[in-house]
Amino acid sequence: MNDFDFFAGRWNVVNRRLLKPLSGSAEWDEFPGVCTASRHFGGAASFDEIEFPTKGSSGMTVRLRDVDSGLWSIYWASSATGVLDTRPMVGAFEGGRGEFYGEETCEGRPVRCRFVWTVGEGAGTARWEQAFSEDDGRTWETNWTMDFTRA
């Protein structure tokens, strides 16, 4: 139930985002972020807000654990759109690694999406990765990584 407890607190973030996902491009944009996360419902919910100072935008994530299934649902909202994405990423942790799957849109077409969370040693670091698949999960292209260091 307490899978995201490690994330509570303040983090410095190094973002790397592929500029044109699923296009064959290998051009990445690297930019900083500052994230503040908190735990709720005794560890069955997690919330964070991340600011991207060089982009002039921010985002927030809400994570909720289903009591019956034990699965987490992750929801994202961006200040750039002002919309909460109601298509959750759903999954679970096993050890220090969590995998979450859902649907996304890339250049107007539907794709499968995968998040991978990896908890570092001593909970002072963490990594989040996003990948898209055009072939229903047979192959994945990582298009965004966030490396977190506790502030």
User: Which H helix or E strand runs over 103?
Assistant: strand 97-106
Domain that residue 83 falls in:
5-150
- For residue range 1-60, what is the model confidence (pLDDT) as tens digits? 799 999 999 999 999 999 999 999 999 999 999 999 999 999 999 999 999 999 999 999
Domain total in the chain: 1
Helix (H/G/I), strand (E/B), else coil: 121: helix
Q: What is the CATH number of the domain that holds 104?
A: 2.40.128.20
Q: What is the DSSP letter of 112?
A: E
Does pTM top 0.75 for this prediction?
yes
The values of phi and psi at residue 42, to 5°, are 65, 25
How would residue 68 be classed by pLDDT, with cut points 50, 70 and 90? Answer: very high
How would residue 96 be classed by pLDDT, with cut points 50, 70 and 90? Answer: confident
Distance of CA 6 to the CA centre of its chain: 14
Return the closest-CA partner of residue 117 out of 24, 23, 55, 37.
37
- For residue range 118-137, what is the model confidence (pLDDT) as tens digits? 998 877 999 999 999 999 99
Residue 95 neighbours by CB under 8 Å, 6+ apart: none
